[in-house]
Structure 1
Amino acid sequence: MRHNCRFMRLADHFVRSGDTLFRYRGQLPLLMLPVFALGMLDARLPADLPPAGRAVQAAAVLLALCGLVIRVLSIGTAPEGTSERSTTSPRASRLRTTGFYSIVRHPLYLGNTITAVGLGAFTTRWYVPVIVLLLGLLYHERIAAREEAFLEDRFGDEFRRWAEAVPAMVPRLSAYVPSDTPFVWKRVLGREFHGLMAIASVVFVLDISRRGLAGATLTPDPLWGWFFALSAAIFVVFTALKKTTGMFRT
């Protein structure tokens, strides 16, 4: 009995710390930037990368974009009243159990982690994505504990049955159940262009940092320069449309 009591106190600690992290979850990824900087300083990459190095970086960016795709597919089919956006505490009037939520309980955090690992791999230092993965799991675990405590209190047995059948962060593809709601492009386009801009910005900064450390001019590799320019154009246009029109309202 004493062991269970200690376990519950630890679980309560996870929930309390998760409550704090939930409020600042948008800023937490910034704590990983020093790890990226350390990787670039340690890598000492040449100004002009050999084909193997360019291939590693291209694969890293594709991995980061895969994380964004997971977010897009999860958000695009979210019914009204599920996973409502809030900066203070979790909110939901419905429990979502189909689509991506039928194979993993926290697909948005899975997507975030994959994106962060991909950006870490862009440094070409093996330990950077490992550190990023561990940091991501550490704080997502606590935020997820806070959200699950809310969902269990809100939905009771319905949540417990779903949680027993669906893994938290490692998808079980064989359990996939198609979403019971159609994909809503307006919702995705109105929210996830920020994610594309964030990925492109980190890649751009890391690339010009690499060239600067190698003693070259602070100009990006053409591929990443165009990637950043395209992402920035999308960001500016979509931000203007969101503020001046109702195009993205659902």
Structure 2
Amino acid sequence: MRHNCRFMRLADHFVRSGDTLFRYRGQLPLLMLPVFALGMLDARLPADLPPAGRAVQAAAVLLALCGLVIRVLSIGTAPEGTSERSTTSPRASRLRTTGFYSIVRHPLYLGNTITAVGLGAFTTRWYVPVIVLLLGLLYHERIAAREEAFLEDRFGDEFRRWAEAVPAMVPRLSAYVPSDTPFVWKRVLGREFHGLMAVASVVFVLDISRRALAGATLTPDPLWGWFFALSASIFVVFTALKKTTGMFRT
């Protein structure tokens, strides 16, 4: 009995700390930037990377983009009233159990973690993505605990049945159930261009830092320079459209 009480106190602590982290979840990834900087300082990569190094960085960026794709597929098929956006506390009037939510309970946090690990791998230091993965799991675990406490209180047995059948962060692909709502491009285009800009910005800064540490001019690798320019153009256009038109309203 004593062990159960101790466990409950630990679970309650996760929920309380998750409540605080939930409010600042948009800023928390910034804590990983010093880890990226440490990796670049340690790597001391040459200004002109050999083919193997370029291949590693290209694979890392593709992995980061895969995380964004998971977010896009999850958000694009979200029914109205599920996982409503809030900066203070979780909100939902419906429990979502199809689409990505049929194979993993927290696909958005899974996508965030994969993106962060990909950016960490861009440094080419093996320990950077490992540290980033551990940090991501540490704070996502607590935020997820807060959200699940809300969902259990809101939906009761419906939530408990779903949580028992679906893993938290490691997808069970064999359990996939197609989404019962159509994909809404407007919702995705109106929200997720920020993520693409964030990935491109981190890659751009890391690449410039690599060249600066190697004593080269502060010009990016052409591939990452074009990637940043394209992402910045999309960001500027979509930001303007969002502010001046209603085309992204759903």
What band does the TM-score fall into relative to the shorter chain?
over 0.9
Q: Secondary structure at the match of 1:66?
A: helix
Q: CA deviation at 1:100?
A: 0.0
1:22 Cα offset (Å): 0.2
Deviation at 1:231, TM superposition (A): 0.1
SS in structure 2 of the partner of residue 92 of structure 1: coil
Deviations 1:71-96 (A, max 9, x none): 00000000000000000000000000
Q: How far apart are residue 197 of structure 1 and its match? A: 0.1
Can you list the C-alpha shifts for 1:149-189, whole angstroms capped at 9, x where unaligned? 00000000000000000000000000000000000000000
Percent identity (aligned) = 99
Deviation at residue 247 of structure 1 after TM alignment: 0.4
Q: Distance in 2 between matches of 1:233 and 1:10?
A: 46
How far 1:102 moved relative to its partner? 0.0
* Deviation for aligned residue 1:113: 0.1
Displacement of 1:237 after TM fit? 0.1
Tell me how far 1:19 sits from its aligned partner: 0.1
1: CA distance, partners of 2:238 / 2:54: 30
Alpha-carbon distance in structure 1 between the residues aligned to 2:11 and 2:162: 19
SS at match of 2:86: coil
Distance across 1 between alignment mates of 2:208 and 2:4: 53
Structure 1 residue 127, shift from structure 2 partner: 0.1
What stretches of structure 1 move > 2 A for 4+ residues in a row? none
* 1:28-79 Cα deviation digits (max 9, x unpaired): 0000000000000000000000000000000000000000000000000000
Q: Distance in 2 between matches of 1:35 and 1:218?
A: 22
- Displacement after TM superposition at 1:203 (Å): 0.1
Cα deviation digits, residues 8-41 of structure 1 (max 9, x gap): 0000000000000000000000000000000000
Shift in Å at residue 246 of structure 1? 0.2
Q: CA deviation at 1:111?
A: 0.0
TM-score (normalizing by structure 1): 1.00
Alpha-carbon distance between aligned partners in 1 of 2:30 and 2:3, rounded to the nearest angstrom: 37
For residues 132 and 123 of structure 1, the distance between their equivalents in structure 2, rounded to whole angstroms, comes to 12
Query: CA offsets per residue over residues 90-118 of structure 1, 9 Å max, x none?
Result: 00000000000000000000000000000
Q: Which residue of 2 aligns with 1:227?
A: 227
Deviation at 1:145, TM superposition (A): 0.1
Structure-2 residue corresponding to 1:211: 211
2:156 corresponding residue in structure 1: 156
Report the alpha carbon displacement of residue 142 of structure 1 after superposing the two structures with TM. 0.1
Give 3-state SS (helix, strand or coil) of 1:87's partner.
coil
- The C-alpha deviation readout for 1:100-151, integer Å capped at 9, x for no partner, is 0000000000000000000000000000000000000000000000000000
The SS at the match of 1:20 is: helix
Superposition deviation, residue 191 in structure 1? 0.1
Cα RMSD, aligned residues only? 0.2
The residue that corresponds to 2:109 in the other structure is 109
Structure 2: tracts of 5 or more residues without a match:
none
- Hey, what's the Cα distance between the residues in 2 that align with 1:81 and 1:214? 51
1:248 aligns to what SS in structure 2?
A: coil
Specify the SS of the correspondent of 1:111: helix
CA shift at 1:207, angstroms?
0.1
The CA distance in 1 between the partners of 2:243 and 2:186, in whole Å, is: 14
Q: Which residue is equivalent to 2:178? A: 178
- Following superposition, the deviation at residue 3 of structure 1 comes to 0.8
- Gaps (5+ residues) in structure 1? none
